[in-house]
Structure 1
């Protein structure tokens, strides 16, 4: 079993911008790697490609998913676009079998762990204690697929949003709960890219079927998370014509907003 850090490691080739990676079967939904996991792999390569790593943290990431890769060997190709004093921009592509599967743009910088918000309008979502929330199983009700990554991540949902699991759909497309890595690994800024795409679809409470394949995902990483469990809320803003846009917010144990994400995905009912 590979933990998150090991499962996202990349090995640089001599050119310093091409990386070999082994996509891990534990971080999959069905037989396909999770989109947030793939974005984290690309981020590892993008930060490694910058000589001296003056900007070790992804501040913003935007990925387009062109084809679903399989577990096993793949290659990440990184193109430096700009290196600045406070931020750098990189393009990264995940290639498998000669086909580009994911393409992403990154803005890299260095987050100050001691920074504090000057102004914020993002109070942490209210949740019952972790022990009073339901642990998501590897085969969640309504998912229609085995979610292998649930063996690596502990996600506990607020019972108030679980009516759909008992045949009682909701009028609100929202899921909220706790998240931590099962092996106790603390989340870092790269891990937040995965966390922002790790929750079940927010459309499950309103009757959707199965997981939702992501077409585009954008994540902002706002702070270095403090140790401890993360609070996550995922909401669908609009469902129309077979597509859903979801918003995900992540808070750390201090109640600080540490990541925000939006994605466009396919959805079935």
Structure 2
């Protein structure tokens, strides 16, 4: 039971010529309901690959795709990392997480050099085509709200959902589609998200957790649109992350323990639904600092992600969490 920077620890154990093995313990507090958060478990795999690449010229994660084959449990794990290809610009790896000898998650990870935008072809402010941070409220004045009881790691974090974004999901908002609408804007969510422990600095493995922190489409729907939906668990099936920019140093313009989160989704089909997520730097830590006129232009998107998730009753989550063995 530990803050994130300790809960994400992995230890290299052996190299057998085919793969390098890392081991550790999935922390029992970093769970949703009774099952480890999928983003947290993926952070273990990313951290193992960062260690694996530490002596390489390609030390930065650039892209990660994860397939969740089985539910993990809060217990010992082994991660096996292999090199698929060493190229001039990128190194391709596979990393697989095993528990009790059973494959739980398989990933393909691309490593390279993640550099700030240069004089090359890039979109950044002040270009009118560049994306700006989509949150409305500055973190110094954002209102912290309690996290759900099913988030067992809530004692380590705070969040302040953005009511301006949530208002876009109202039944009478102009974003709602009708027979004359071309397309449709789906549902949106956003928040400032902060780590309470001062040793929990934003780092690359943490981004795997952060892209999995959002409110899923089914929960954003008004009750009239989700009849019969009780307390639910939304396990990730596939998650893909692109690491967009290097982590900036802690400064008057960039916080070290707070990020901005934005998510949207447009489709829900028999429980299977999509999510698009952005992770942004923050101008100050949540509840600190003061607003300046240029704070939006100074923020950087650190990662974007897409995922396919599913709907399962929370009772199934809690029942699986009682088991000490991986379900085949």
Pick the TM interval, shorter chain: 0.7 to 0.9
The gaps in structure 1 that reach 5 residues or longer are 141-145
1:255 counterpart (299, 308, 322):
299
Quote the offset at 1:113 in angstroms: 5.2
1:180/1:53 CA distance change after superposition, 3 Å = farther
Identify if the C-alpha distance between structure 1 residues 148 and 196 changes in structure 2 by more than 3 Å, giving closer, same or farther: same
Segments of structure 2 that go 5 or more residues without pairing to the other structure are: 125-129, 177-185, 283-297, 314-328
Compute the TM-score of the two structures, normalised by the length of structure 2: 0.72
> By how many angstroms is 1:96 displaced?
0.4
Distance 1:131 1:202 in 2: 28
**Residue of structure 2 in register with 1:156 after alignment:** 160
Partner residue in 1 for 2:98: 95
Of 7-16 and 239-248, deviating more is 7-16
**Does the alignment pair 1:189 with 2:196?**
no
Are residues 50 and 135 of structure 1, via their aligned partners in 2, closer, same or farther at CA, if it must alter by over 3 Å? Answer: same
Residues 154-209 of structure 1, C-alpha deviations (whole Å, 9 max, x = no match): 2210124557xxx9998652111111222132212221121111223243220465
Runs of 4+ in 1 over 6 A off after TM superposition: 167-170
For residues 189-242 of structure 1, give each alpha carbon's deviation from its aligned partner in whole angstroms, at most 9, with x where no partner exists: 221121111223243220465231110000000112334131111111211121
2:285 maps to none
- TM-score (ref. length: structure 1): 0.87
Cα distance, 1:47–1:73 mapped onto 2, change above 3 Å: same
Change (3 A) 1:36 1:126: same
Contact kept, 8 Å, 1:94 with 1:103, in 2: the verdict is: yes
Query: CA 1:9–1:114 in structure 2 vs 1: closer, same or farther (change >3 Å)?
Result: farther
Deviation at 1:98, TM superposition (A): 1.6
Q: CA RMSD in A?
A: 2.7
Displacement, 1:6?
Answer: 1.6
The reply to whether residue 203 of structure 1 matches residue 218 of structure 2 is: yes
Residues 47 and 68 (structure 1 numbering): CA distance in 2 closer, same or farther, change over 3 Å? same
- The answer to which structure, 1 or 2, has the higher relative contact order (CA under 8 A, 6+ apart) is 2
Cα distance, 1:105–1:169 mapped onto 2, change above 3 Å: farther
Q: Does the 8 A contact of 1:26 with 1:152 survive in 2?
A: no
